[in-house]
């Protein structure tokens, strides 16, 4: 059974930093592409960042240069380091992975950027 568990969200001031983590269970983690999505109130869920099994990364234009995605295959964890946060980064952040038989999501972690 695939389970993705996010942690590390919270309230941060504009310009601040936050790191969110996703622990994966039930998969051979090193063999899976991993991604972070976010969904703000009233908006569609959007891809923020992704990382392949080989460590190649991809970012939404809105977060390039500010966010960094990484993975720790020994800990079955994918991380999203968020710097220079803006109020428009406020959203629920979701961890995601896919396989031939399913598309898996975590429960989400709230990130709020506000003064």
- In 3D space, the residue among 23, 41, 3 whose CA is nearest the CA of residue 78 turns out to be 23
Residue range 49-61, pLDDT digits in tens: 999 999 999 999 9
pLDDT, average across residues 68-95: 97
Distance between CA atoms of 31 and 27, rounded to whole angstroms?
8
Tens of pLDDT, residues 6-25: 999 999 999 999 999 999 99
From CA 58, how far away is CA 43, in angstroms rounded?
21
């Amino acid at each position: 059974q695939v389970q993705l568990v996010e942690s590390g969200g919270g309230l941060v001031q504009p310009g601040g930093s936050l790191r969110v983590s996703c622990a994966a269970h039930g998969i051979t983690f090193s063999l899976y592409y991993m991604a972070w999505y976010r969904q703000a109130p009233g908006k569609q869920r959007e891809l923020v960042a992704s990382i392949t099994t080989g460590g190649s990364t991809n970012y939404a234009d809105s977060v390039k240069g500010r966010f960094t995605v990484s993975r720790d295959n020994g800990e079955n964890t994918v991380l999203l380091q968020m710097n220079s946060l803006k109020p428009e980064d406020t959203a629920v952040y979701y961890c995601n992975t896919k396989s031939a038989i399913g598309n898996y999501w975590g429960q989400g972690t709230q990130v709020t950027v506000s003064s």
